[in-house]
Structure 1
Amino acid sequence: MKQLQLMIAILLMGASAVAQTKPAATTPPTVVSVVEGVTGKDFQPDTSYAALTQEDATLLAKEPVANWSLAQESGQMMYYNLVIGTRSYQLLVTRSPKSSLPTATLLRYTTPKSKPETIARGSLKPKEDKGK
């Protein structure tokens, strides 16, 4: 009986995790272009989260890259901030020792005291030079 309960709990946790994410194909081009504009690298999204709203896409598309803060480093992490009214966004760039490519995560804070909500995550690749 305990094994059955444990199995059901594991299945429910797995279903919950799937319900919170969407396939990477749903990451709007505006989010991709914002991450690429801020970091200067090609962004390859691997996960788009359910926290992404149409309002986020609209706000991010309207804000120029110049409104993002300069990169700030903290250990193995670098981050950029953007504040629009009471809503703010943070782009985290981390490099894992096990991975050759850094990972970028775009977060949203709805209010100054709210917990961060993940909008998109993916890897950053160096921009390829176009042939002259």
Structure 2
Amino acid sequence: MNQLLSLFALTLISLSAAAQTKSETTPPAIVSLIEGITGKDFKPDTAYATLSKEDVDILTKEPVANWSLPQPSGDQMMYQNLVVGEKSYRLVIIKQPQISLPTAMLLRYPTAQSKPETIARGTLSPKEPQKAK
């Protein structure tokens, strides 16, 4: 009986973990936005928050020049902000010494007092040079 109960608990935990890691695809507009800001190829691995049409419109219509300059936060992290009305967005880039490629996360703050919601996360890699045709 104990083994059956343990098996049930383990199955329940694994199903909830799978549900948490199940992700949507990152919209191409968000991928190109992050690539435009960083100048590197962005390979998304996780999309967390569902974007509203308003979010996509804001992020795609605001020019890269409206994002703040990169601001370092310690040795391994830097971030850039975009504030539009009450909404704000933050692109966080983390470079860990044991990992060769940096990780980028795009966060959304719906209001000034709210906690950040992760929109997308992925790795940044150097852009490969375009071959002349």
TM-score bucket of the superposed structures, by smaller chain:
0.7 to 0.9
Tell me the number of residue pairs that the alignment of Structure 1 and Structure 2 aligns: 128
2:10 corresponds to 1:7: yes
Show CA shifts across 1:111-131 (max 9, x none): 001010010111111111113
RMSD: 1.8
How far has the Cα of 1:10 moved from its partner? 1.3
Alignment partner, residue 85 of structure 1: 85
More deviation, 1-10/38-47: 1-10
Distance 2:67 2:131 in 1: 30
Indicate the structure (1 or 2) with the bigger Cα radius of gyration: 2
2:103 corresponds to 1:100: no
TM-score w.r.t. length of structure 2? 0.86
More deviation, 50-59/72-81: 50-59
How far has the Cα of 1:15 moved from its partner? 4.2
TM-score w.r.t. length of structure 1? 0.86
Alignment partner, residue 70 of structure 1: 69
Show CA shifts across 1:18-54 (max 9, x none): 45x22xxx21111011101111111111111133222
Query: Structure 2, unaligned stretches of length 5 or more?
Result: none
The DSSP-based 3-state class of the residue aligned with 2:106 is strand
Query: Using a 3 Å threshold, how does the CA distance of structure 1 residues 63 and 13 change in structure 2: closer, same or farther?
Result: same
Q: Which runs of 4+ in 1 moved over 6 A?
A: none
Distance 2:64 2:72 in 1: 19
Show CA shifts across 1:52-100 (max 9, x none): 2222111101100000000000121010000010000000000122211
Among the aligned pairs, what percent are the same residue? 57
